[in-house]
Amino acid sequence: MGDGIPLSVHRYSYPDAKAAAEGCAHHALGVLENALAAKERVTFAVSGGSTSKLFFEALVAARFNWDRVHLLWADERAVSPAHPRSNYGLAEEHLILPARILRSRTHRIFGEFEPRRAAVNYTEEIRELFDLEPGEMPHIDLLHLGMGPDGHTASLFPGDPLIADREGIAAAVCLEKDREWRVTLLPGVLLAAKHTVILAAGAEKAPVLHAVFEEDYQPEKYPVQIIAHNGRSVTWFLDEAALSQTG
């Protein structure tokens, strides 16, 4: 059993990663358009990872009007924006600059700060953007996530105690295997998103996808199950290789 009952979960399969990214982008833009029809501004949190470049390029190709969209990040490494491993840097190169998104519409995690300070700074940024009262969670209009071969999503990794956190907004985490610091949104925020897209591709994802979809709910082992089992409106975009071990 999970934390609750999702409003909807859909899963779409495509021949390859590029097609999956394009399908994800088409769906994402539809979600943003519907949200913009109802209010003045919308929020869109993006991720890094191996498929995000393809996703961003597909978003840019659609020539969408980004003037009323505010960008956030699901997570970030403790590096400067110019570092090749920066999630912000990836989005800047492949989405923000080519789509001419205004800097005033971007709310990045300051990876160059000390990680705990960066997490506090990002929490405060989100509280201000969403005008949150103490204890409230932001309801991001659209959340884009990926999934690692170990089942992690954002920077919530297997075995991390933060997987159980439903009250915080952002936190610093340190990956034991390589001592890399990151800042991540926490499960309460991910679960509060109005719509979530999860984009994953490649045969290396096949074993964990099988576990996520067909094994018992074990979020401490497969953190992406938090969203897969409990998100409000979750849509998966997967290639055939990633689904090769899933019925």
Q: What length is written for the chain? A: 247
Task: Please name the residue that has the structure tokens 């969408």.
Answer: 64
d(CA 171, CA 182): 8
> Which residues face 76 on adjacent strands?
183
d(CA 36, CA 44): 12
180 phi, psi to nearest 5 deg: -95, 125
Q: What is the 3-state secondary structure (H, E, C) of the chain?
A: CCCCCCCEEEEEEECCHHHHHHHHHHHHHHHHHHHHCCCCCEEEEECCCCCHHHHHHHHHHCCCCCCCEEEEECEEECCCCCCCCCHHHHHHHHHHCCCCCCHHHECCCCCCCCHHHHHHHHHHHHHHHHCCCCCCCCCCCEEEECCCCCCCECCECCCCHHHHCCCCCEEEEEECCCCEEEEEECHHHHHHCCCEEEEECCHHHHHHHHHHHHCCCCCCCCCCHHHHHHCCEEEEEEECCCCCCCC
- Residue 7's pLDDT is 54
Contact, 202 vs 239, CB < 8 A?
Answer: yes
Question: Both tokens of residue 202?
Answer: 């490649």
Rounded to the nearest 10 degrees, the angle between the axes of helix 52-61 and helix 17-36 is 50
pLDDT per position in the chain (247 positions), as tens?
444 444 578 999 999 999 999 999 999 999 999 999 999 999 999 999 889 999 999 999 999 999 999 999 999 999 999 999 999 999 999 999 999 999 999 999 999 999 999 999 999 999 999 999 999 999 999 999 999 999 999 999 999 999 999 999 999 999 987 789 999 999 999 999 999 999 999 999 999 999 999 999 999 999 999 999 888 899 999 999 999 999 7
d(CA 203, CA 190): 26
Pick the CATH number of 31-239 from 3.30.700.30, 3.40.190.10, 3.40.50.1360, 3.30.70.990: 3.40.50.1360
d(CA 144, CA 25): 10
d(CA 204, CA 218): 20
10 phi, psi to nearest 5 deg: -125, 150
- Residue 166's pLDDT is 96
